[in-house]
Amino acid sequence: MQGVDFTTLSAVLVELRAGWLPARAEQVYQRDRHTLSLALRTLRGRDWLTISWHPQAARLHVGEPPPRTPDTFAFSEQLRHQVNGLALVDIATIAPWERVVDLQFAPRPGDAVLWHLYVEIVGKYSNTVLVDAGGNVVTVAHQVSPEQSRLRPVLTGQPYEPPPPLTGTVPTGEEAFTDWRDRVRLVPGKLWKQLLKSYRGVGPTLARSLSAAVGIDADRSTDDLHDGEWHLLYERWHEWLSALENKTFVPGWTDGGYTVLGWNCVAPEQSVQTLLQSYYGRILERQVFTQLHQQLLQKVKNATTKIEQKIRRFEERLQQSNDADSYRERADLLMAYLHEWQPGMTAIALPDFATGKPVEIAIDPEKNAVQNAQALYKRHQKLKRARTAIEPLLQDVRAEADYLGRVEAALARLDCYTTPDDLQALEEIRAELIQENYLISPRDRRRNSGDADNLTEAQPLRYRAPSGCELLVGRNNRQNDRLSFRTAVEYDLWFHAQEIPGSHVLLRLAPGAVPDDADLQFAADLAAFHSRARQGDRVPVIYTEPKHVFKPKGALPGTAIYSHERVLWGSPQAIARNPSGEVMP
């Protein structure tokens, strides 16, 4: 992940000072334990300033509004109490070449500053600290005790001390070429590392992009560079210093990340604010997606293992109940041949009524023949009652196993992050599992506490059939229910892999339209591809009209029964080889 270095921070501050000074602080909201949103209003409008002290993604920029969920963090509560309604009168840095920003708040422009909000963007040690006019820490995003850091503890009530100053040489445009070159190559090593060690304000991204801009491998040793390459690097070095001095930045996208200098740019961006919002929003959502996907998949697999064990135990008990009549038959034999019993016997062989063959019967020597027969009759009755009790339980756990199979199939299809809809679909699955009591509602309220009613509905996948008809594919059980029982109309056709967990597929048709064979085959291929059998060659797929699809009362999400179905053979590999039919959102 590309971090916010001094150059990027300088570009951010140029835009913030130009557009958001002065501004009124209207609202404070903490999204999660690493991110704060501060609502600012100027004469031109209102927007949200994102402040993050994330260890890998610390940043400061204007970003998207926060979600409408409760904020119960103590840090944001303190900030609301102190700075709400005040004016943001200045955005400064505490010292040249440092990445600590001082957001200054006063009752109105021109008044004495009452509060300093220090945003420390210093990698894994990033933090945000509110300090009063006397220089004392009032509240801090992440307290650092003396046990954690003897060099710089950060605690409420203590005087604020900025991070230790940088020790590298200050870059200057007046430095001669020979002095600059000799400083960088004084100790042989990789070019980007020597640039990093030699000067302040140089981060790994800047050092590598500077080298790439002149076509030099950043990992080359400084001993291997000739004078012509050094001169090219020196020219770029001066371009960087000139951009900082003149505050002229060119935000854009590179092959591996972003740039604010225009170097190695493959696509321009409107502003540094939108650049950082897009980049870090996408990166962090991908991380959240990956973690959530692993959590849900593991939970579903564990639940499936337990359900399979239940099924095996119930089936074993049913098998035992199948032997109930044998206990009654042995009891009848004992009662018919009471005279054959002798005290102290542990077993007795008696002729079967039907075949005449001897039947071995175990005997409890502590009981007489009648008592042993009574015990066998009781065992017979117990096993008969067990079948009546176990059969509905077995039916329920098998339905639960089918449900978990559908969830696992949905997670298998939703295995990588490409758009925000992917994360929304995954969060719908989490909310569903919470509602079905497979998960406990998480305390992390990044988007939601887990309540499905408050989630923004993710959109189903959209495809175009060969004739141009639209097809909708559910991405999880809730989407499947919406497609089948809310979206579908009488003219559509409903598809599903036969007896295999998978997505509900809806072929949308105009009133009176008759689908082509190619459309039907394409829909069947989609249903096969978005099922647990996607690795197969041929998969049976049923299709019917939506009016013949029903959801049993009280059934788990994604459950559907159908009638008047017809069968096609779907080819999931046809979709895997040519997925171009998908309509990208």
Q: What is the pLDDT along the chain (585 residues), one digit of tens a residue?
A: 899 999 999 999 999 999 999 999 999 999 989 999 999 999 999 999 999 999 999 999 999 998 888 888 999 999 999 999 999 999 999 999 999 999 999 999 999 999 999 999 998 999 999 999 999 999 999 999 888 888 889 999 999 999 988 888 999 999 999 999 999 999 999 999 999 999 999 999 999 999 999 999 999 999 999 999 999 999 999 999 999 999 999 999 998 899 999 999 999 999 999 999 999 988 988 988 999 999 999 999 999 999 999 899 888 878 777 777 788 888 888 898 888 888 889 999 998 888 888 988 899 998 998 998 899 888 888 777 777 777 888 888 888 899 999 999 899 888 888 888 888 899 899 988 988 888 886 544 444 434 444 556 778 999 999 989 999 999 999 899 999 999 999 889 999 999 899 999 999 998 878 889 999 999 999 999 999 888 888 999 999 999 999 998 888 888 899 999 999 999 998 887 765 444 433
Cα–Cα distance between 171 and 242 in angstroms, integer?
11
Q: Are 565 and 544 in contact (CB under 8 A)?
A: yes
Cα–Cα distance between 192 and 220 in angstroms, integer?
8
Q: Are 297 and 409 in contact (CB under 8 A)?
A: no
Amino acid residing at 16:
L
Specify whether the backbone of 157 is left (phi greater than 0), alpha (psi in -120 to 50) or beta.
left
pLDDT of 453 reads 47
Give me the residue label for tokens 């000799």. Answer: 182
pLDDT of 579 reads 54
* Helix, strand, or coil (residue 22): coil
Q: Which of 4, 13, 88 is nearest to 247 (CA)?
A: 13
Q: Which of 390, 385, 392 is nearest to 324 (CA)?
A: 385
Q: Which of 229, 121, 139 is nearest to 185 (CA)?
A: 229
* Helix, strand, or coil (residue 370): helix
Cα–Cα distance between 215 and 232 in angstroms, integer?
9
* Helix, strand, or coil (residue 306): helix
Q: Are 485 and 551 in contact (CB under 8 A)?
A: yes
pLDDT of 353 reads 85
Cα–Cα distance between 568 and 133 in angstroms, integer?
75
Cα–Cα distance between 518 and 527 in angstroms, integer?
14
pLDDT of 442 reads 57
Angle (nearest 5°) at CA 303 between 297 and 304:
85
Q: Are 477 and 432 in contact (CB under 8 A)?
A: yes
- State both tokens at 236: 């770029």
Instruction: Tell me 337's DSSP state.
Output: T
pLDDT of 510 reads 85
pLDDT of 86 reads 96
- State both tokens at 75: 């840090």
pLDDT of 455 reads 54
- State both tokens at 257: 């990340």
Length of the chain equals 585
pTM of the model: 0.69
* Helix, strand, or coil (residue 157): coil
Q: Which residues lie below 8 Å from residue 542, measured CB to CB, with a gap of 6+?
A: 495, 496, 498, 562, 565, 566, 567, 568
Give me the residue label for tokens 């030099």. Answer: 216
Q: Which residues lie below 8 Å from residue 166, measured CB to CB, with a gap of 6+?
A: 97, 98, 200
Residue 286, Cβ neighbours under 10 Å: how many? 16
H-helix or E-strand containing 317? Answer: helix 272-321
Within 53-114, strands assigned E span 59-63, 87-93, 100-106
- State both tokens at 56: 């890998």
Which residues sit opposite 41 in a β-bridge? 24, 46
